[in-house]
């Protein structure tokens, strides 16, 4: 509709807001305002600089940095990845340069951008998580995402994320020691009841939950009878896991009031919107970055186009917008 | 200029029952490739297969950028049906290619099978100075023979079945060659690309003979530009990324 149409319908001010001042794509995670709901998923966006020639980092809602541990980790043996139908398995094993080098070598670069900086952290013990959170809070990162759901390491990771008492204790300890940054708990899909774990995170003081991490999986080469990954098992990601992730976001949305960050096989704007309708306030793009390094930007543009097409002014109108009283699908299209 | 671009398929010629020559024309300004670099090519337009596939830069001709590939699995089976005019997404050129030639050494290029694609990209760098050893299973799998002959005065072809050149593997040829050279062997600098067991054997021969050299490795990779850490290879300096620090590595660096 052009301006005349809007004036005719008495919607001039709406038009002005929509096209004159721009649409509102901003969302809030705790006290943190993101310019749009599109974030990067930890472990798929390196330390940000790997994407600098493809993506204008300033355009992103937030950059989530690959899991950082106190000491550098060398990761798992190769092969570390394999492709599966509509997805991939990985067992990288959280290879990272460690906190000290991250602060010295990567942080100054990341600080140059006008985007929110969230660092994913992994500890072997609760004390290590606290130490990492404190150090990162001290250098003013915007958020800390607790990796309590990695399936590829022997300590920390999924072990903490699937034990209710340990998880509650861990989050409250971190919450107490972090002053400025928001705390996001990244949940494992490997639990019987995601609502229970989301609630634990909320009650322990987490500002938000992000879900889901990869789903433990496995693939075998039938010619050699060998596992396709040196680590035997790995984490499944990509479009294959999207319906599971959407379901879990929906369940979590019905259980907690804190914002939910949806993750799992988001390839385009349509997928992102689906997650938001299920209850996600923001989303993280993961495996899609490998396939199309510009995926995040295309998703932001796609969300904007969708809102424009539907004559919507505020992306927040999507959050939890699911109309569960009726159903609709076009299987035979 | 971007390393992520759209390209048009110019042609996709079968060379034999399982190898093809793909020519693409970028539809935007692209970065010039260096010998030994590679490209990630989109093989389908659905989510299965999901990931792009890495292919060595072979050469540039009037027909565009060319790649040699072997039909091996899901991805390459889809590629063989690429029709002229189709538009695909490509990332590249990626990775660190072969280092610049060193003075005082004679380049000794060793290619096994489809590894010729990567080695061929080097031949122009060395003009006529390089010696090339090129082995494959049989004569049908020996490519660009005439071009190689024009690019070097010294080319030794070998096939496993003896259908062309010497009978045996390129490893046998390399061993014979170095034996003949005896004390002069260390004047050579090796550049090798081929299957991993071949590269491992060549590295061992190089170490035994006190020769330096480079290998171009292949590994499963998801992104191709250093983000996923899926293609890590064990080196004496810890894990390195085949897609970023590689695919070309100094032989002595790799822990086989």
This complex has an ipTM of 0.93
Give the CA radius of gyration of chain A: 20
- Residue of A29, A150, A184, A209 with catalytic role: A150
CB contact under 8 A, A92 and B221: no
User: Do residues B68 and B169 share a domain?
Assistant: no
User: Do residues B73 and B155 share a domain?
Assistant: no
Of A50, A79, A267, the CB nearest to B227: A50
Q: Of B94, B128, B145, which marks where a domain is finished? A: B94
Question: Hey, what are B101's tokens?
Answer: 């030639």
- Per DSSP bridges, beta strands B188-193 and B212-216 are parallel
pLDDT score for A14:
61
User: Do residues B73 and B34 share a domain?
Assistant: yes
User: Do residues B125 and B225 share a domain?
Assistant: yes
Of B52, B226, B238, the CB nearest to A291: B52
Residue B27 in any domain: the answer is yes
Residue B72 in any domain: the answer is yes
User: Do residues B130 and B208 share a domain?
Assistant: yes
Residue of B60, B217, B79 lying closest to B147 (CA atoms):
B60
Residue B139 in any domain: the answer is yes
Question: Hey, what are B228's tokens?
Answer: 């996923």
pLDDT score for A17:
56
CB contact under 8 A, B221 and A81: yes
Distance (Å) from the C-alpha of residue A295 to the closest C-alpha of chain B? 12
User: Do residues B215 and B235 share a domain?
Assistant: yes
Provide the residue range defining the domain that includes B83: 4-94
Contact assessment for residue B96 and residue B246, using Cβ atoms and an 8 Å cutoff: yes
Task: Establish if A293 touches chain B: CB-CB under 8 angstroms.
Answer: yes
Question: Hey, what are B81's tokens?
Answer: 């049906």
Residue B74: Cβ-neighbour burial (10 angstroms; 0-12, 13-18, 19+): middle
CB contact under 8 A, A54 and B3: yes
| Residue numbers in A near B238 (CB within 8 A) | 74
User: Do residues B50 and B126 share a domain?
Assistant: no
Categorise residue A27: left if φ over 0, alpha if ψ from -120 to 50, beta otherwise: beta
Of A43, A79, A287, the CB nearest to B220: A79
- Report the chain B residue with the minimal C-alpha distance to residue A91: B230
Contact assessment for residue B199 and residue B218, using Cβ atoms and an 8 Å cutoff: no
pLDDT score for A147:
93
Into how many domains does chain B fold?
2
Contact assessment for residue B112 and residue B70, using Cβ atoms and an 8 Å cutoff: no
| DSSP SS3 for A70 | coil
| Residue numbers in A near B219 (CB within 8 A) | 78-79
How is the beta sheet containing B248-250 ordered, strand by strand? B166-167, B154-159, B131-136, B106-112, B188-193, B212-216, B248-250
Active site residue A82: no
User: Do residues B59 and B179 share a domain?
Assistant: no
Q: Which residues contact A309 (CB under 8 A, 6 or more apart)?
A: none
Distance set, CA B164 to CA A265, B130, B156, B161, B198 (Å): 49, 21, 10, 8, 19
| Residue numbers in B near A287 (CB within 8 A) | 50, 222
User: Do residues B8 and B38 share a domain?
Assistant: yes
Q: Of B62, B94, B126, which marks where a domain is finished? A: B94
Task: Establish if A268 touches chain B: CB-CB under 8 angstroms.
Answer: no
User: Do residues B83 and B203 share a domain?
Assistant: no
CATH number at residue B186: 3.40.50.80
pLDDT score for A107:
97
Residue of A53, A65, A102 lying closest to A284 (CA atoms):
A65
CB contact under 8 A, A80 and B231: yes
pLDDT tens digits along B68-122:
999 999 999 999 999 999 999 999 999 999 998 788 899 999 999 999 999 999 9
| DSSP SS3 for A295 | helix
Round the average pLDDT of chain B to a whole number and report it.
94
Q: Of B94, B123, B154, which marks where a domain is finished? A: B94
| Residue numbers in A near B239 (CB within 8 A) | 74-75, 95
Residue B100 in any domain: the answer is no
- Report the chain A residue with the minimal C-alpha distance to residue B225: A50
Task: Establish if A289 touches chain B: CB-CB under 8 angstroms.
Answer: yes
Residue B83 in any domain: the answer is yes
User: What percent of chain B has pLDDT above 90?
Assistant: 86
In angstroms, how far is CA A10 from the centroid of its own chain?
40
| DSSP SS3 for B178 | helix
Measured at the alpha carbon of residue A163, what is the angle toward residues A158 and A168, in degrees to the nearest 5?
105
Task: Establish if A82 touches chain B: CB-CB under 8 angstroms.
Answer: yes
User: Do residues B9 and B78 share a domain?
Assistant: yes
CATH number at residue B38: 2.40.30.10
Contact assessment for residue B63 and residue B114, using Cβ atoms and an 8 Å cutoff: no
pLDDT of B125 higher than 90: no
- Report the chain B residue with the minimal C-alpha distance to residue A234: B230
> Could you list the pLDDT tens digit for every one of the 333 residues in chain A?
556 665 666 665 665 555 555 789 999 999 999 999 999 999 999 999 999 999 999 999 999 999 999 999 999 999 999 999 999 999 999 999 999 999 999 999 999 999 999 999 999 889 999 999 999 999 999 999 999 876 666 666 666 777 888 899 999 999 999 999 999 999 989 888 999 999 999 999 999 999 999 999 999 999 999 999 999 999 999 999 999 999 999 999 999 999 999 999 999 999 999 999 999 999 999 999 999 999 999 999 999 999 999 999 999 999 999 999 988 888 777
User: Do residues B86 and B153 share a domain?
Assistant: no
Number of C-beta neighbours around residue A1 at 10 A: 11
CB contact under 8 A, B232 and A292: no
pTM over 0.90: yes
Task: Establish if A216 touches chain B: CB-CB under 8 angstroms.
Answer: no
Contact assessment for residue B177 and residue B171, using Cβ atoms and an 8 Å cutoff: no
| Residue numbers in B near A74 (CB within 8 A) | 238-239
Residue B159 in any domain: the answer is yes
Q: Which residues contact A226 (CB under 8 A, 6 or more apart)?
A: A220
Query: Which domains does chain A carry?
Result: 27-331 (3.20.20.70)
Query: Helical H runs in chain A?
Result: 3-8, 12-15, 98-101, 107-110, 126-138, 158-161, 164-177, 194-203, 242-253, 269-278, 288-291, 295-309
Of A54, A83, A95, the CB nearest to B232: A95
CB contact under 8 A, B50 and A291: yes
């Amino acid at each position: 509709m052009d301006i005349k149409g809007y004036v005719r319908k008495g919607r001039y001010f709406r038009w002005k807001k929509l096209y004159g001042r721009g649409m509102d794509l901003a969302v809030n995670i705790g006290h943190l305002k993101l310019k749009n709901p599109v974030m990067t998923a930890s472990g798929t966006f390196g330390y940000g600089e790997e994407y600098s020639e493809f993506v204008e980092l300033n355009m992103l809602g937030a950059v989530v940095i690959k899991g950082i541990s106190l000491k550098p980790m060398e990761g798992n043996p190769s092969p570390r990845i394999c492709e599966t139908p509509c997805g991939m398995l990985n067992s990288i094993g959280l290879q990272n340069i460690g906190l000290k080098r991250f602060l010295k070598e990567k942080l100054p670069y990341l600080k140059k951008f006008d985007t929110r900086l969230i660092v994913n952290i992994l500890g072997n013990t609760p004390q290590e998580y606290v130490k990492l959170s404190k150090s990162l809070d001290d250098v003013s990162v915007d958020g800390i995402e607790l990796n309590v759901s990695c399936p590829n390491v022997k300590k920390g990771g999924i072990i903490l994320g699937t034990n209710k008492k340990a998880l509650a204790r861990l989050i409250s300890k971190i919450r107490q020691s972090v002053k400025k940054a928001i705390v996001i708990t990244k949940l494992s899909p490997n639990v019987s009841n995601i609502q229970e774990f989301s609630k634990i995170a909320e009650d322990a003081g987490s500002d938000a939950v992000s879900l889901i991490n990869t789903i433990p999986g496995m693939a075998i080469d039938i010619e050699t009878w060998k596992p396709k990954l040196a680590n035997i098992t790995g984490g499944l990601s990509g479009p294959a896991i999207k319906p599971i992730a959407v379901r879990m976001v929906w369940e979590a949305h019905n259980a907690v009031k804190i914002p939910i960050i949806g993750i799992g096989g988001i390839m385009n704007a349509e997928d992102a919107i689906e997650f938001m309708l299920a209850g996600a306030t923001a989303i993280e793009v993961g495996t899609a970055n490998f396939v199309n390094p510009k995926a995040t930007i295309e998703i932001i543009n796609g969300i904007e186009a969708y809102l424009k097409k539907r004559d919507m002014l505020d992306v927040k109108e999507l959050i939890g917008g699911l109309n569960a009283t009726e159903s609709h699908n076009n299987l035979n299209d | 200029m971007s390393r992520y671009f759209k390209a048009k398929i110019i042609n996709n010629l079968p060379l034999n029952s399982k190898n093809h020559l793909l020519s693409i024309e970028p539809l935007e300004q692209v970065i010039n490739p260096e010998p030994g670099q590679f490209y990630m090519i989109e093989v389908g337009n659905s989510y299965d297969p999901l990931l792009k596939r890495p292919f060595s830069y072979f050469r540039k001709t009037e027909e565009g950028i060319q790649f040699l590939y072997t039909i091996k699995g899901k991805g390459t089976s889809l590629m063989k049906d690429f029709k002229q005019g189709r538009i695909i997404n490509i990332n590249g050129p990626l990775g660190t290619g072969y280092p610049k030639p060193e003075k005082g050494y004679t380049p000794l290029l060793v290619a096994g099978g489809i590894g010729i694609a990567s080695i061929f990209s080097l031949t122009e760098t060395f003009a006529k100075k390089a010696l090339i050893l090129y082995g494959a299973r049989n004569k049908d799998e020996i490519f660009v023979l005439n071009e190689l002959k024009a690019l070097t005065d010294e080319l030794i072809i070998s096939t496993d079945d003896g259908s062309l050149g010497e009978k045996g593997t390129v490893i046998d040829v390399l061993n014979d060659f170095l034996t003949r050279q005896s004390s002069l062997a260390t004047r050579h600098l090796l550049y090798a690309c081929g299957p991993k067991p071949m590269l491992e054997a060549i590295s061992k021969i190089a170490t035994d003979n006190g020769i330096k050299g480079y290998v171009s490795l292949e590994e499963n990779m998801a992104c191709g530009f250093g983000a996923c850490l899926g293609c890590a290879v064990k080196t004496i300096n810890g894990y390195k990324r085949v897609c970023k620090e590689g695919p070309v590595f100094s032989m002595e660096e790799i822990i086989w």
